[in-house]
A = this chain, B = another copy of it.
Amino acid sequence: MADVFVWLLLLVPVSALSSYFTGAHSVLTFAAATIAIVPLAEWIRRATEHLALRAGPAIGGLLNVSFGNTAELILALFVLAAGKADVVKAQLTGAIIGNALLGLGLSIVVGSIGREKQTFNRAHAGQLASLLVLSTIGLTLPALFDYSLRGDTPSDRLIRDEHLSLAVSVVLILVYVANLLYTLITHRDVFAYAEDDVHDHEAHPVWPVWKAMAVLATATVVTAFEAEMVSGALESTASQLGLSEFFLGIILLAVIGNAAEYVSAMYFARQNQMGLAVSITVGSTIQISLLVAPVLVIASALIGHPMNLVFTSPLELVAIGTVVFAVSSIAQDGETTWFEGVLLLAIYVLFGLAFYFV
């Protein structure tokens, strides 16, 4: 797997050259910068993992989960700073449906080739599904609240949406902290097997701390450069391709930060470790609700471009609700077959169609 993510780094100079020769707003610059984020996210993840191995399980787990969404957060912050809060919200929705439908669907299909069915631990999957349900309820509450109150004046409403979104974000982050306590301290043994399995398959020696730190810092800085290019070229690219910025956000930007994780999930599914593939994709989905979205709401208020959690289109809520329902219903029986994977992918395609028509 390593090779691909080394070669893909070539897109970093490509994007810089494209920006110089074809202009900062060209489709080529946008494409190169966007895809360049995929290997950068993977290198951030690897550096974090090596640091985590040096730091012992509790701190290590904390590092892993905290830096797991770095690339995604950086990209969202640059888009936010460009004043495009709606695109960031689309990116959040897209990450949720991308992880749970595209990522999990691909893993199930890839894993099921040549196998009648794959099984996983129902109890663990059930717990992930509960957490997904409950975290999603929190995330979507401000939007549900907003839609329920149609009669107000727009300005009152904006202020109220803002306050409620901030309050909800604080509660969600507290839930996230409780979840860390739960998975890293009080119930560590329940969740430990996943980590072990991951490491068993990596024969590489552990990096020294300085190397991990250097890779982490460099990859983060370069990601920021690429993210700035992406956000700068977003508008012109959308108009040149005849697509909406919303569509680019929900379909393209959304999966960039998580693409490397999809590859891992597919890899483990191929190894017949379906439980891990489910943990990775559903776990990522939960992190969007409990960490990425609330951090963005709070950060957006601090940088003066406030973003609330009221999704632009009710269809986004429908998509999120659907994901929860679909994942719960897949997780419930502890088995996956290729047809379930096809169903998840079909729903993703249907939402893609719907978002295209919006």
- Identify the A interface with B (CB < 8 A): 116, 122-123, 126-127, 129-131, 133-135, 137-138, 141-142, 144-145, 147-149, 160, 163-164, 167-168, 171, 174-175, 178-179, 182, 186-187, 313-315, 318, 322, 325-326, 328-330, 332-333, 335, 337-340, 342-344, 346-347, 349-351, 353-354, 357-358
Contact = CB atoms under 8 A, between A and B. Distances in A.
A175 B347 CA distance: 10
Nearest to A139: B350
Q: How many copies does the complex hold?
A: 3
A98 B175 CA distance: 19
Contact of A167 (B328, B333, B335, B353): B353
A326 B324 CA distance: 12
A141 B337 contact: no
A123 B335 contact: yes
A297 B175 CA distance: 38
A343 B168 contact: no
Contacts of A141: 318, 350-351, 354
A239 B336 CA distance: 51
A167 B353 CA distance: 8
A123 B119 CA distance: 12
A313 B328 CA distance: 28
A342 B167 contact: no
Contact of A329 (B134, B174, B179): B134
A354 B129 CA distance: 24
Given A135-B343, A138-B347, A168-B350, 19 more contacts: A116-B186, A122-B333, A123-B335, A126-B333, A127-B335, A133-B326, A134-B326, A134-B329, A134-B343, A134-B346, A137-B350, A148-B313, A148-B314, A148-B318, A149-B315, A175-B346, A178-B339, A182-B339, A187-B339
